[in-house]
């Protein structure tokens, strides 16, 4: 199972880490004002009309697939309107985002669930 552990809030950014069965995959970045609620999400990889490529889509009983959240590339929270950005942490920024998106998209094709959790005090 995939897990996002949020562990740092700096200004408007929420920094976290993505794990698969306990193994670190990459860092995550979300907008503080639009981050996903804690919980378990279904994961499907399908075509994103906005990004014009196949990307992971997160949804559950509260957030329908038609309004789901994407996992995609981005370097700062200004690159997200509420989705989960992936890459390598560089302060409040991400780098190597395209590589991370490719890895996460591949993993999401075989994993069916993602859990959002917090360790922020």
- State the Cα–Cα distance between residues 112 and 114, nearest whole angstrom: 7
Cut 0.75: pTM above it = yes
Instruction: Please write the tens of the pLDDT for every residue from 10-63.
Output: 889 999 999 999 999 999 999 999 998 999 999 999 999 999 999 999 999 998
Residue 89 pLDDT > 60: yes
First to last CA, the chain: 24
* Residue (of 48, 50, 11) closest to 31 by Cα position: 11
Domain segments of the chain as ranges = 2-118
pLDDT category of residue 67 using cuts at 50, 70 and 90 = confident
pLDDT of residue 121: 53
Beta strand 84-90 with 39-48 is: unpaired
């Amino acid at each position: 199972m995939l897990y996002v552990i949020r562990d740092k809030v700096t200004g408007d950014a929420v920094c976290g880490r993505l794990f698969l069965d306990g193994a670190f995959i990459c860092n995550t970045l979300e907008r503080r004002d639009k981050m996903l609620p804690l919980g378990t999400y279904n994961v499907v990889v399908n075509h994103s009309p906005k990004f014009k490529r196949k990307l992971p889509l997160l949804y559950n009983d509260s957030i329908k697939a038609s309004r789901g959240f994407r996992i995609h590339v981005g370097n700062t929270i200004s690159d997200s309107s509420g989705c989960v950005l992936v890459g390598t942490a560089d302060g409040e920024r991400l780098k190597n985002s395209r590589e991370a998106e490719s890895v996460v998209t591949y993993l999401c094709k075989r994993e069916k669930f993602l859990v959002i959790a917090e360790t922020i005090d």
